[in-house]
Amino acid sequence: MLRIEGLKSGYGKSEVLHGVSMSINAGQVVTIIGANGAGKSTLVNTLSKLLPIMSGRIEFDGRDITALSASDVVDLGIIQVPEGRKLFGPLTVDENLTLGSYRVRHAPKAELTDRRKFVLDLFPRLAERATQRAATLSGGEQQMVALGRALMAGPRLLLLDELTLGLAPIVIDEMFETLERLKREGLTMLLVEQRADAALALADHAYVMATGDVVAEGPAPDLRNDERVRKAYLGESDITSD
Ligand SMILES: Nc1ncnc2c1ncn2[C@@H]1O[C@H](COP(=O)(O)OP(=O)(O)OP(=O)(O)O)[C@@H](O)[C@H]1O
Ligand SMILES: [Mg+2]
What's the rounded mean pLDDT across residues 61-74?
A: 96
Tell me which DSSP letter residue 84 carries: T
| For residue 75, pLDDT beyond 90 | yes
Range of the domain at 202: 1-75+157-167+188-242
Radius of gyration of the chain (CA): 18
**9 and 40 assigned to the same domain:** yes
Residue 205 Cα distances to 29, 221, 222, angstroms:
7, 8, 9
Same domain flag for 71 and 84 = no
- Predicted confidence at residue 236, as pLDDT, reads 52
138 within domain boundaries: yes
Distance 9 CA to ligand 1 centre (A): 11
For residue 79, CA distances in Å to 49, 82, 138, 191, 218 come to 11, 9, 23, 12, 24
Specify whether 30 is located in the same domain as 139.
no
Whether 141 and 239 share a structural domain: no
Domains contained in the chain, number: 2
Q: From 109, 134, 155, give the residue that closes a domain.
A: 155
**CATH number (domain holding residue 28):** 3.40.50.300
Say if 7 falls within a structural domain: yes
**Average pLDDT along the chain:** 92
Question: What is the pTM (predicted TM-score) of this model?
Answer: 0.93
User: In angstroms, what is the span from residue 37 Cα to ligand 1's centroid?
Assistant: 5
Q: With 90 as the cut, is the pLDDT of residue 95 above it?
A: yes
CB 180 within 8 A of CB 202: yes
Tell me the CA–centroid distance for residue 193 and ligand 1, in Å. 14
Ligand 1 atom closest to Cα of residue 35: 25
Decide which of 133, 155, 177 is a domain's last residue: 155
